[in-house]
Structure 1
Amino acid sequence: MSGFSINAQEGAANPVHNNNPVFEGWYADPEGIIFDNKYWIYPTYSAPYDKQVFFDAFSSPDLVHWTKHEKVLDTTSVKWAKRAVWAPSIIKKGDKYFLFFGANDIQSDEEYGGIGVAVASRPEGPFKDYLGKPLIDKFHNGAQPIDQFVFRDADGKHYLIYGGWKHCNIAQLNDDFTGFIPFENGEIFREITPENYVEGPFMFIRDGKYYFMWSEGGWTGPDYSVAYAIADSPMGPFKRIDKILQQDMDIATGAGHHSVIKVPRKDRWYIVYHRRPLDETDRNSRETCIDEMHFDDNGFILPVKITVEGVKSDPLE
């Protein structure tokens, strides 16, 4: 698939910085990840639900120069997805790339849709529907089947962490990602909802600890933000510690629905998130940004300063 280059810092005073947003266009719910010695971002195309029917992806060797890969997945390849695909989450397993997504914005078990999976042989796609149906199509433990994040544990097990409507579930994926492996007690979907959770879960491991992050507040409002908890297991229990990402009325509103990128072999971390420009009131006017994320000496995440400057060039070795 062809792409075209975007130099987000052209004309900027400092040539080693890219300005936030990192690329042009309305994009939200960004998942940042590293594949094949490149940074990748897979965001939601932020538009009215009936137009939000495809995903673009963006790749960069250094967080400054971005290449757009258009329509890596389109609902024409997912027959059951009629409207509103969003919040992609991707992982490489073997020689395949699996893209998890929410579709149709179902409001009850009587509606058809939920969380789907697409597969491709390259990170830029094209992705095709993997199952021909949703992977999760029902409300379990009160969680709307949206905002999926696929997490690879240190032992190689893969989990799907997901949920809207203030409920979050974790489920262990089977080896080929066609379904789930029940937990010891027979349950498939285990609720791990922390205090104030709304949506947008994300998990990573640092120094043997599991950091669970999520979005709070309403995505259309000024209270949208990101908080976190730490536990010794991906099952928790997760006790909310603090809010670490939120709007700055000098810069932008509605900062939330994030992901985290760790630079390989270094203790350097970036938070990838969306926010709304100060002069925008449309709920879909969201842009993707990157800022640095730091920890204190005890391993707690420090509050993130959202910036216009963005981050310095950071080529992968």
Structure 2
Amino acid sequence: MKHIPYRLLSITCLLLMLSLYCRGSNNRPPQIIDSKLPIADPYVLYHSGKYYAYGTRIDGFEVYISEDLKHWKRSKNLALSPQDSWGTRWFWAPEVYYVASQKKFYMFYSVDEHICVASSSSPEGPFIQDEKKPIIAKEKGIDTSLFIDDDGTPYLFYVRFTDGNVIWMAEMNKDLQSIKTETLTKCISATEPWEKKQATVAEGPSILKRGNTYYLIYSANHFESQDYAVGYATASSPKGPWKKYKGNPILRRDHPSASGLVGTGHGAPFISADGGYKYIYHAHASTSSVGPRTSYINDMAISSDGAISIVGDPIRPVVVK
């Protein structure tokens, strides 16, 4: 073997290292362009190995996409553009569901304090209202949440302004465009001291079912309050009657799982890739400023006796390039 001059060996090694670096550049940490997930009233859909997050921020709705819940990329296109929807202002609290029987994605949301639904063939959108009108034309409402029971019956939970913000439920027609008004039933109102520290508000409903028990997870208090918090109630039917959990609230600024965050609330549970539940919610910008609100994710557990808890340190999502 011939002797290789030291200088030539050094140059060769340098070129080799540079080559490996370039080929491995895709493995470098992603470039963070926003240190927080900048949405309020957040919702996560897990579909085909990816997470899709939607929330309140602008006119219309963005969609953020992730594979690990920590790093999120903002889609270059809006999930829903104002021109594809009835209403022109106050686009709030979108939730997206995949309805396998129809092979469609449905986005339920509120705009101009009316509840609406739009559909798409993709979780990224574009979501479009086939007919630009609210679900209920003659009454204001916000914070929609769809629940389809095991027998295929769809129910819509949402907030009506009846003596404060009150959560109501109605059975939907099969087209998911309208409700059966004769089935309207009151579910939850703000009655407990922790729910009324700043306003008479119960809002942000989410429904899940475990066994024969239905859970209605909700937020209470004014969203501008640092004591905005999360509780839940249970029932043996989506029509109620609902019994509030005696250990409410399950998430608030004084709970360890909040990790110093304030104004924690208006979130939604979702099932992650490992089959476990997680809960996404928003919090205030700081102890001195409500906005801009941003989103966080905690584990959510259901004990053997059926009690829900929000546990662990929050994931603090970032937006990457």
Q: TM over 0.5, yes or no? A: yes
- Answering whether residue 152 of structure 2 is matched by residue 156 of structure 1, we say yes
Q: State the superposition RMSD in angstroms.
A: 2.6
Q: Is contact 2:279-2:298 (8 Å) kept?
A: yes
What CA deviation, in whole Å up to 9, does each residue of 1:87-144 have, x standing for no partner? 0112122221111110113xxxxxxxx11111111110111123211112334xxxx5
- What is residue 257 of structure 1 aligned with on the other side? 266
TM superposition outliers: structure 1 runs of 4+ over 4 Å: 9-12, 308-311
Q: What TM-score results when the alignment is normalised by the length of structure 2? A: 0.76
Distance 1:250 1:260, change over 3 A: closer
- Answering whether residue 272 of structure 2 is matched by residue 247 of structure 1, we say no
Unaligned residue ranges in structure 1 (runs of 5+):
1-6, 13-21, 46-51, 106-113, 312-317
- What is residue 293 of structure 2 aligned with on the other side? 286
Whose Rg is larger? 2
- What is residue 191 of structure 1 aligned with on the other side? 186
Helix, strand or coil: the match of 1:76?
Answer: helix
- Answering whether residue 43 of structure 2 is matched by residue 31 of structure 1, we say yes
Bigger fraction of residues in helix: 2
Q: What's the % identity of the aligned pairs?
A: 30
Q: Is contact 1:253-1:278 (8 Å) kept?
A: yes
Q: Is contact 1:194-1:240 (8 Å) kept?
A: no
Question: 2: distance between equivalents of 1:37 and 1:250?
Answer: 29
Q: What TM-score results when the alignment is normalised by the length of structure 1? A: 0.77
Helix, strand or coil: the match of 2:253?
Answer: coil
Unaligned residue ranges in structure 2 (runs of 5+):
1-26, 192-200
Superposed, which structure 2 residues align to 1:30-69 within 5 Å? 30-45=42-57, 52-69=58-75
Superposed, which structure 2 residues align to 1:123-272 within 5 Å? 123-139=123-139, 144-164=140-160, 165-181=164-180, 187-196=182-191, 198-241=202-245, 242-248=248-254, 251-263=260-272, 266=275, 268-272=276-280
Question: 1: distance between equivalents of 2:252 and 2:106?
Answer: 30
Question: 2: distance between equivalents of 1:138 and 1:201?
Answer: 22
Distance 1:271 1:191, change over 3 A: same
Q: Is contact 2:301-2:309 (8 Å) kept?
A: yes
- What is residue 90 of structure 1 aligned with on the other side? 96
> Cα distance, 1:175 vs. partner?
1.4
> Cα distance, 1:280 vs. partner?
4.9
- What is residue 15 of structure 1 aligned with on the other side? none
Helix, strand or coil: the match of 1:148?
Answer: strand
